[in-house]
Chains A and B, each alone.
Chain A
């Protein structure tokens, strides 16, 4: 069979397209679709991909890496601080409790205490990729169960660091593993120091180097260059982590947290996102395709018992912990089900343990199959929980508490904070209304941030960035980007994706207003109109007109002009009738205002106060 790169790409992508589509239609969620697609093309069903699946896995692990980077980006330090109780308390107890329980079980099943500890610790971890993806798809992330699950996953991800440091110490045999990492030749304690050094590098560089570099790149205003830089950053960190023998996912997660406070947060997030999604899909496919069904078939009962036993055990521990942390009914059930599987870090940790011969190779193969199966079963468990368990036992507690805390979501989004948008923004802020501001001039963003504004760098006309800025929950968007073209693109994007948003758009001139009106915007503000009229009114006053009169005249002009605009748009593409109609309207306006000045109207009305006239007026 021809297994060229292109052929493989076709197989993977086609299976993803078909598998996910079918799974979606069956209501099974995308992850199960990917996993089943992987199983289908794997050696045990169609056999399109065989052992190479493992190579793909290495590439696709970047999906996990990027996901953790994005998760890190979401985690502003103060959010992390607010979640400390859940992360350390709930997460810590889960890792500790599950590790002890599984380790004991493994020990009594005949493993050495070191191996038992390694197995227990590894299997206590859950799959960040599956859980986050599923919760996100079902928009459960902001619920109390989603929140708790996130905290536990966070703790688990952090726990990987000490585990990676402890495994070499646990190892009873010294193994020649210099191929595994460049620092393999150092002693355990030296390795630990190097690992800590690498983490320090990420934190320091994230704080002091990355920002200036991004600003420098952003000045080119080339979106793809920015994207390339973002990918470069992730790859660099991943490589650094691999070199020191740490999990790349953890390194990028850390980098994400460090960058969470930077103005590039939204842009980075949306640049990485498509890659993340696709690579994650690839990762799930490769998990599916590498499940060793031969091994599973040979030890069928053992594997089934292990998978179900472990998931049940983890589920119970989670349920008890959830209860003691105040999770109620359906939320607690969801929490327990979502985290009951084993996670992708198991692949990393088991192969790491294998390098140190901590666990026997046969056991590792078996355990990896168990982990993969438990991951594959998770989406199914979600479905079972959702359709069978929750409705039956928890119906009464359903649908209370949802969308709890939304961080940094403002009712107003301002796209473009240049000479126009910033006045609007300042005015709103002066009235106690904070707006989420998006701007794609990195110099300006930096300057505004120094003034204490919450400004994000990024091209607002991108769907993903708008989403990240909270467009789904916002009420209005103020479009004040630099060029009419940008404003129009933005309008089209908002109309299509966020139809609930009221659009207030700045227009450059009359023609631009027509364009915006045709694209369906109702609230249009010609940027020069009001201030020009103010200037005009001041000029009239200096010539000797009365202040209130000029004020009125300006109002009359403004109202008339806006009305005329709506009439004129019908003629905009017919220059002949446009000019004649425009002329007509100009005359009309002049007459209108001059009449006010000469004032037959007001004089007439005023003389109504001559009561003699009133009395002699014919009675009706």
Chain B
């Protein structure tokens, strides 16, 4: 059984309905650590050593966050900047993250169509996540496709509940090694792995 670390970053979590459903669905799962950055570091003063220890203890790292300006909230970027140190995460002796898995769990107001070549945003989310992909590569981690929830402002409670269950299924599936590595690497969205091509 693998261990999962969910690094969660949402500056206004108290107002994000969809994230509240998602968090409820994964918090407290066996072998799953939920780590809330904005709650721990409201002043952005990140405890690097503590974060590194936490990372070292887990096999699968999930970055759960809203998609802000085609990227992540500032504290999560700060976290990446500080915690993935040279000599620890990458570089000659930076082997601490080697062979761990990394992926993003993203919520966004934009629709699936908006994130297409012909869409309003011109790029798909996996494309926009290339910096993360490369980060994982640099640290000799395996980068998995993102789990994504689109159009969050228009979701009904029932739909959100459904997404929360999907999320739980993904997390437990990864933990219990239920997916094929080939499928994991080649899927466009993590959602595809549980036979949920993006439709909602």
A610 in contact with B151 given A546-B38, A549-B14, A603-B15 (CB within 8 Å):
yes
In whole Å, how far is B115's beta carbon from the nearest beta carbon of chain A? 8
- List residues of chain A with CB within 8 A of the CB of B15: 599, 602-603
Q: Report if B108 contacts A (CB, 8 A).
A: yes
Chain A nearest CB: distance from B152 CB in Å? 8
Stretch among A319-327, A350-358, A579-587, A611-619 lining the B interface: A611-619
Check if B126 is an interface residue, CB within 8 A of chain A. Answer: no
Q: Interface size of B by Cβ–Cβ distance < 8 Å?
A: 26
| Interface residue stretch chosen among B39-47, B48-56, B57-65, B130-138 | B39-47
| Pick from B11, B110, B151: contact of A548, CB under 8 Å | B11
Our pick among A545, A548, A551, A612 for the contact of B111 (Cβ within 8 Å) is A612
Measured between alpha carbons, how far is A611 from B111 in the docked complex, in Å?
7
Minimal beta-carbon separation of A388 from chain B (angstroms): 66
Q: Is A608 an interface residue (CB 8 A)?
A: yes
- A546-B14, A599-B15, A606-B153 as given contacts; A611 in contact with B42, CB under 8 Å: no
Chain B residue, CB-CB nearest to A607:
B153
Known: A602-B12, A602-B15, A610-B111. A547 touches B153 (CB 8 A): no
Question: Could you mark each residue 553-597 of chain A with 1 if its beta carbon is under 8 Å from any beta carbon of chain B, else 0?
Answer: 000000000000000000000000000000000000000000001
Is B94 among interface residues, defined by CB-CB distance under 8 A? no
Nearest-neighbour CB distance to chain A for B96, whole angstroms, equals 28
| CB atoms of A551 and B43 under 8 A apart | yes
Do residues B111 and A547 form an inter-chain contact, with CB atoms below 8 A?
Answer: no
Is the CB–CB distance between A612 and B114 below 8 Å? yes
Judging by beta carbons under 8 Å apart, are A546 and B13 in contact?
yes
Chain A residues contacting B13 (CB-CB under 8 Å) are 546
A549 and B12 in contact (CB under 8 A), knowing A607-B109, A608-B109? yes
B67→A547 contact, CB < 8 A = no
Contact B114 A547 (CB under 8 A): no
Q: In the complex, what residues of A have CB within 8 A of residue B114's CB?
A: 611-612, 615
Q: Are B110 and A547 in contact (CB under 8 A)?
A: no
Q: How far is the CB of B17 from chain A (nearest CB, A)?
A: 10
Residue of B nearest to A550 (CB): B42
Q: Determine if A547 and B40 form an interchain contact, defined as CB atoms under 8 angstroms apart.
A: yes
Shortest CB-to-CB span from B128 to chain A, Å, is 13
Q: Interface readout for B64-82 with A: 1 if CB under 8 Å, 0 if not?
A: 0011000000000000000
Query: Which applies to chain A's interface (DSSP): helix, strand, loop or mixed?
Result: helix
The range of chain A's interface size is 20 to 34
Provide the bound-state CA to CA distance between A264 and B200, in Å.
Answer: 80
Q: Which residues of A contact B14 (CB under 8 A)?
A: 545-546, 549, 597
Q: Which residues of B contact A550 (CB under 8 A)?
A: 42
A609: CB under 8 A from chain B? yes
CB of B119 within 8 Å of the partner chain: yes
User: A536 CB to closest chain B CB, in angstroms?
Assistant: 14
Contact with A along B88-114 (1 / 0, CB 8 A): 000000000000000000001111011
Q: Does B120 contact A (CB under 8 A)?
A: yes
Which residue of B12, B42, B121, B154 contacts A547 across the interface (Cβ within 8 Å)?
A: B42
Minimal Cβ-Cβ distance residue in B for A615: B120
A520 to B42, CA, bound (A): 35
Greatest chain A CB density within 10 A among B13, B38, B42, B152 is at B42
From A551, A608, A610, A615, residue with most partner B Cβ within 10 Å:
A610
Q: How far, in angstroms, from A610 to B115 measured CA to CA in the complex?
A: 11
Q: Are A610 and B154 in contact (CB under 8 A)?
A: yes
B157-173 to A contact mask, C-beta < 8 Å, 1/0: 00000000000000000
- Closest B residue, CB atoms, query A596: B12
In whole angstroms, how far apart are the Cα atoms of A550 and B11 in the complex?
11
* A318 CB, min distance to chain B CBs, angstroms: 62
Q: Provide the residues of chain B in CB contact with A610, threshold 8 Å.
A: 109-111, 151-154
- When distances are taken between beta carbons in the complex, the residues of chain B under 8 Å from A603 are 15
For B108, give the chain A residue with the smallest CB separation: A609
A547 and B38 in contact (CB under 8 A), knowing A610-B109, A610-B111, A615-B120?
A: yes
Chain B 1-18 near chain A by CB (<8 Å), digits 1 or 0: 000000000011111000
Q: How far is the CB of B106 from chain A (nearest CB, A)?
A: 11
Whether A548 lies near B67 (C-beta < 8 A) is no
Contact of B39 among A546, A606, A615 (CB under 8 A): A546
A556 to chain B, nearest CB (A): 13
Contact in complex: A548, B153 (CB < 8 Å)? no
B45 → chain A, closest Cβ, in Å? 11
CB distance from A430 to the nearest CB of B (A): 16
- Nearest to A549 among chain B residues (CB) is B14
**Which of A547, A606, A607, A614 is in CB contact (< 8 Å) with B120?**
A614
A181 CA to B118 CA in the complex, in Å? 111
Report chain B residues within 8 Å CB of A606: 12, 66, 109, 153
> Cβ of B12 and Cβ of A611 under 8 Å apart?
no
B151 proximity list for chain A (CB < 8 A): 610, 612
Closest to A598 in B: B15
- Cα distance, A307 to B6, chains bound together (Å): 94
What CA separation (Å) do A614 and B110 show in the bound complex? 9
**CA of A467 to CA of B113 in the docked complex: distance in angstroms?**
73
Bitwise, A297-334 to B at CB < 8 A (1) or not (0) is 00000000000000000000000000000000000000
The CA of A602 and the CA of B66, in the complex, are separated in Å by 13
B151, closest chain A residue (CB): A610
B68 nearest in chain A by CB position: A609
CA distance A607 to B16 in the complex (A): 11
Q: How far is the CA of A177 from the CA of B50 in the complex (A)?
A: 86
| Cα–Cα, bound, A551→B44 (Å) | 11
What separation, in Å, do the CA atoms of A549 and B114 have in the docked complex? 31
Q: Which residue of B lies closest to A537 (CB)?
A: B42
Q: Residue among A551, A607, A612, A614 with the most chain B CB within 10 A?
A: A612
The chain B residue sitting closest to A612, CB to CB, is B111
Given A548-B11, A606-B109, answer yes or no on A611-B43 (Cβ-Cβ < 8 Å). no
Residues of B within 8 A of A614 (CB): 120
Q: Contact between A548 and B42 (Cβ–Cβ < 8 Å)?
A: yes
Looking at the assembled complex, report how far the CB atom of A555 sits from the nearest CB atom of chain B, in whole angstroms: 10
- Chain A residue nearest to B110 in the complex (CB): A611
Bound-state Cα–Cα, A597 to B108, Å: 21
Q: Mark B29-41, 1 if CB is under 8 A from A, else 0.
A: 0000000001110
Q: Give complex CA distance A547, B113 in Å.
A: 35
State whether B120 touches A611 (Cβ < 8 A).
yes
In the complex, what residue of chain A is closest to B75 when comparing beta carbons?
A548
The reply to whether A609 and B12 contact each other, CB–CB distance below 8 Å, is no
- A546–B113 Cα distance when bound, in Å, is 33
Min CB–CB distance A212 → chain B (angstroms): 46
**Further 12 A-B residue pairs, CB within 8 A, beyond A609-B67, A611-B109, A612-B114:** A546-B14, A546-B39, A547-B38, A547-B42, A548-B38, A602-B12, A606-B66, A607-B109, A607-B153, A609-B110, A611-B111, A611-B114
A-B contact pairs, 12 of them (CB 8 A): A545-B14, A546-B14, A548-B38, A597-B14, A602-B12, A606-B66, A606-B109, A606-B153, A609-B67, A610-B152, A611-B119, A611-B120
Sorted nearest first, the 8 A-B pairs with minimum C-beta distance are: A611-B114, A609-B109, A551-B42, A610-B109, A548-B38, A547-B42, A548-B42, A611-B120
Instruction: Name B's A-contacting residues (CB within 8 A).
Output: 11-15, 38-40, 42-43, 66-67, 108-111, 113-115, 119-121, 151-154
